[in-house]
Amino acid sequence: MAALSSESFTFNQIKGISEKASFCILLYLICLQFKLKNMWKFPGGLSEPGEDIGDTAVREVFEETGIKSEFRSLLSIRQQHTHPGAFGKSDMYIICRLKPYSFTINFCQHECLRCEWMDLSDLVKTENTTPITSRVARLLLYGYREGFDKIDLTMEELPAVYTGLFYKIYHKELPDSYKTMTGMD
């Protein structure tokens, strides 16, 4: 069991995850046991046209689990070509970290056998899971123990070259001195 700081964390991915801190003592992930393969995985799904990554993660976690949350960061991206469910396109599986605002599970019984908060250290040891769930559990455990700044890709909105438009860029956090740097020192 891992001790936790004063802030609760949730993890999510566009195609599946979520995590919580219970009473700031234990670190938990919300996991779904999928009907299709009877394995533990993270909640998630497809983006709507024009929907931002964080908005998709928050929406999908709510739709599949009933958990309300807020986007915190991007954790990783898996790219796969010829994915059977990707409509003939390359598939990008984007994993995000979210902060939960509710903890009562009301899961989608159409897609899932079970849904529960699972201790992160237990998920790392679980054999009945997908390879990406297992890898992400280890990534999250590392971030939890060593600091999420070591794994997070934060989002910043910047003005585009087109007047009035903006884009979102995801990257490791820059030190303040580099954010305002004007020339070479």
CATH number at residue 48: 3.90.79.10
Question: Would you state the pLDDT for residue 56?
Answer: 92
| Structural domain that includes position 74 | 13-151
Q: Report the number of distinct structural domains present in the chain.
A: 1
CA torsion angle 162 163 167 169 (round to 10): 80
Residue 167's H or E segment, with its range, is strand 166-171
Residue 171 lies in a domain: no
Q: Is-contact 116 41, C-beta < 8 A? A: no
Question: What's the pLDDT band for 59 if we cut at 50, 70, 90?
Answer: very high
Residue 180 lies in a domain: no
Residue 85 lies in a domain: yes
Residue 44 lies in a domain: yes
Residue 64 lies in a domain: yes
**What's the pTM?**
0.76
Residue 178 lies in a domain: no
Above pLDDT 70, what percent of the chain?
Answer: 77
Question: Would you state the pLDDT for residue 122?
Answer: 84
* Structure-token match 């533990």, residue found: 40
